[in-house]
Amino acid sequence: MSLLLTNAILSGDLKGTERMVFPIPRELSIYSAALLQAGIKHIRYDTLPVKNDVFREYLFTQRFERICIHIPEGCIEKTINLIGYIKQTEELKNTSIICLGPGVNRCENALFDAGVSIILHDGNEYSLVHLINTLQTPFNPFLDEVKGITFRNILGNIVKQPDGAYVPRTFAPDYSGISLDRYLKKSKTYTIPLNNKPGEIYTGPEEARIEKQYVELTYGLDCWVYMADPFPYLQKLPFLPQTQSVFLEKIMVDVSQKPDMGVMMQAGCKKMQLLVSPESFIEWMNSGYPELQNNLAMQYGTELTWNIYIKKNQAIDYKMMKSLYDWFIARPQVKVIFSVHSHIVNEILGSSDEKLLKKYLKLQQKTKHMSAYVHAKQQVNAHVGKWKNLNPAYHLARIRATVESFNIP
């Protein structure tokens, strides 16, 4: 039985995408590795640089009997269009379609109406392996035994099975055949998210350790671990085996709830990025939270960087940001970068709106100017003493700060 594992991004139709930094197809590669480990033959197709018409032609010529489509958050629109093409084409209408990924949440009815056969709602890669093995067993399509799936029975009623049991992952994502240069052209940074959300692949400390070691050794990338909610790991930290604590070397943490990161710094974290919105950071400046984290980083020898992320439709006016600029400029030793929130990228990938892409690229350029402006001003303040005017680096930093300030929104 011919099986295709693919995603639903299809960015080739959008102009200007060559200037974007795309998320690595990590989930797709983990599902592919799980199928390979189970001995299930399949073809993996990464649609990131592909145009919609090109992919449709590929499906028409190959005629797969079953297609598994991974849907990222916000990409349901393109998925529905793709499924509609498959089901409305006479030669492809009998193709069995399975959907999985975080994008299926709250879209079950729309997917079934479009012609989807089964939805994997728990994101467990072992549930997908069990499902494919069950479907490939002759005369044994008993879906009631498969966990983590949603389907319509013969009466047309939606049946939702309980989530599958957690099985620790002992393998790393399979990136063979995928050109990582396309995703890492602007950076060699690889991010591993620790999560346990519905529809997503579970990744804990042990899985992160295996993946981190494999990716660093095989591809030579700079691996970071991202925590959307650090509190569960702060509680488990004293009980983690020494073999698992290696995932703490380089971490990105969302600090919207103001966690005390000194525990992780003390545990051996070498580099740390703290992600926060501009509004929250401005609110915290008087409470002392940023100063506390900076002091802890100096105490434990951690290289700390504040990552100020801009959300969708956020007003970036100089008056609002001035207090933020002044705080960092007055502290030349504190590192800061400005970035665009990752959720905006998913929305762009799932849409065909050229205006949305242009807005994102403009916002991305603004954040670069903001970072360059603050860095240059910090360099100016870093030069002290009456002889600084004789230092060429001092004047170069002043010129850079002046030029970049013209581009500040």
* Per-residue pLDDT in tens (0 to 9) along the chain, 409 residues: 699 999 887 777 777 777 777 788 999 999 999 999 999 999 999 888 788 888 989 999 999 999 999 998 878 888 898 899 999 999 999 999 999 998 898 889 999 999 999 999 998 999 999 999 999 887 766 788 899 999 988 888 889 999 988 889 999 999 988 888 878 877 888 999 987 777 788 898 889 999 999 999 998 899 999 998 898 888 878 777 766 677 788 999 999 999 999 989 988 899 999 999 998 999 999 889 999 999 999 999 999 999 999 887 766 777 778 889 899 999 989 999 999 887 777 777 777 777 888 888 888 888 888 888 888 888 877 776 665 666 676 667 677 767 766 665 5
The DSSP letter of residue 203 is B
The pLDDT tens digits for 319-331 are 778 889 899 999 9
Measure Cα distances from 33 to 191, 215, 260, 310, 385 in Å.
18, 14, 37, 34, 59
pLDDT of residue 89: 93
The answer to whether residues 67 and 42 touch, using CB atoms and an 8 Å cutoff, is: no
Q: What pLDDT does residue 195 have? A: 77
| Per-residue model confidence (pLDDT) at position 405 | 65
Q: 3-state DSSP helix/strand/coil percent for the chain, to nearest 5?
A: 45, 15, 40
Kindly tell me the sign of the dihedral angle through the C-alpha atoms of 147, 152, 154, 156. Answer: positive
pLDDT, residue 22, reads: 78
Do 260 and 271 form a contact (C-beta atoms < 8 A)?
Answer: no
| Length of the chain counted residue by residue | 409
H/E run at residue 298? helix 289-300
Q: How far apart are CA 166 and CA 29, in angstroms?
A: 19
The verdict on pTM exceeding 0.85 is yes
How confident is the model at residue 214, as a pLDDT? Answer: 93
Task: State residue 92's pLDDT score.
Answer: 93
Using an 8 Å Cβ cutoff, are 305 and 321 in contact?
A: no
How many whole angstroms separate alpha carbon 80 and alpha carbon 8?
A: 10
